[in-house]
């Protein structure tokens, strides 16, 4: 069976979003073009890391080009996307590995999200070697979502993704861990429960 690649070049929409209540949210990347929609699940930390790294890469592209790259410094308001995820949200796979690259020739950000795969290995070296072979296997590798974005689309994605991550539970003022509506066992209070 050949590798399944969900390619969006370009997408009509590429966003990060959630399903569920704060504290129990499931995070998704969702790409859409016409009637075709692909949703992949991932961890909150992966969404945050992707958005932060994307902004850093875009800033580096602007710096190296001397400001002539087609990358806005901030998200253009006309492409800001605050709509919810397209429903029904059907998970294609859970993301394990992500990659970012800038195609200078086409002036596009390339985002790749590959499915989580469990590997058996005897040692760390065997595991690293097995991971590398799997990721490089274009024919039989894990399913992948590949999206090519303009600089403006990439900025809009990063801003929304960070907004989604930060829209969860408020942090405890003492330890910065998320507060639960039922209360919070704060390590800074020696395990005493704090009200929300």
- pTM (global) more than 0.95: no
What is the secondary structure of the chain as a DSSP string?
-PPPEEEESS-SEEEEEEES-TTS-EEEEEEEETTEEEEEEE-HHHHHHHHHHHHHHHHHHHHHHTT-SS--SS--GGG---PPPPSS--EEEEEEEEEEEEETTTTEEEEEEEE------SSHHHHHHHHHHHHH-TTTS--EEEEEE-HHHHHHHHHHHHHHHHTSSPBPTTT-PBPBTTBEE-GGGTTPEEP-
Q: Give the integer Cα–Cα distance in Å for 18 and 27.
A: 5
Q: Are 43 and 161 in contact (CB under 8 A)?
A: no
Residue 32 is predicted with a pLDDT of 97
Residue 56 is predicted with a pLDDT of 95
Per-residue pLDDT of the chain (196 residues; tens, 9 = 90+): 578 999 999 999 999 999 988 778 999 999 999 999 999 999 999 999 999 999 999 999 999 888 788 888 788 888 889 899 999 999 999 999 999 999 989 999 999 999 988 766 666 776 666 666 666 666 777 899 999 999 999 999 999 999 999 887 777 887 877 777 677 777 777 755 555 4
Among 140, 131, 66, smallest CA distance to 99 is for 131
Residue 120 is predicted with a pLDDT of 62
């Amino acid at each position: 069976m050949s590798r399944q690649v969900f390619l969006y070049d370009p997408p009509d929409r590429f966003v990060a979003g959630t399903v569920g209540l704060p504290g129990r949210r499931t995070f998704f990347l969702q790409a859409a073009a016409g009637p075709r929609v692909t949703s992949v699940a991932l961890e909150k930390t992966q969404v945050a890391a992707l958005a932060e790294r994307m902004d850093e890469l875009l800033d580096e592209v602007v710096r190296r080009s001397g400001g002539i790259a087609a990358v806005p410094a901030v998200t253009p308001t006309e492409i800001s996307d605050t709509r919810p995820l397209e429903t029904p949200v059907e998970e294609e796979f859970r993301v394990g590995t992500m990659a970012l690259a800038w195609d200078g020739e086409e002036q596009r950000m390339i985002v790749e999200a590959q499915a989580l795969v469990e590997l058996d290995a005897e040692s760390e070296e065997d595991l690293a070697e097995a991971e590398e072979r799997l990721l490089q296997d274009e024919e039989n590798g894990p399913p992948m979502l590949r999206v090519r974005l303009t600089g403006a689309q990439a900025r809009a994605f990063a801003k929304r993704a960070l907004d989604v991550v930060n829209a969860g539970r408020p942090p405890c003022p003492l330890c910065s861990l998320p507060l639960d509506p039922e209360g919070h066992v704060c390590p800074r209070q020696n395990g005493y429960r704090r009200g929300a």
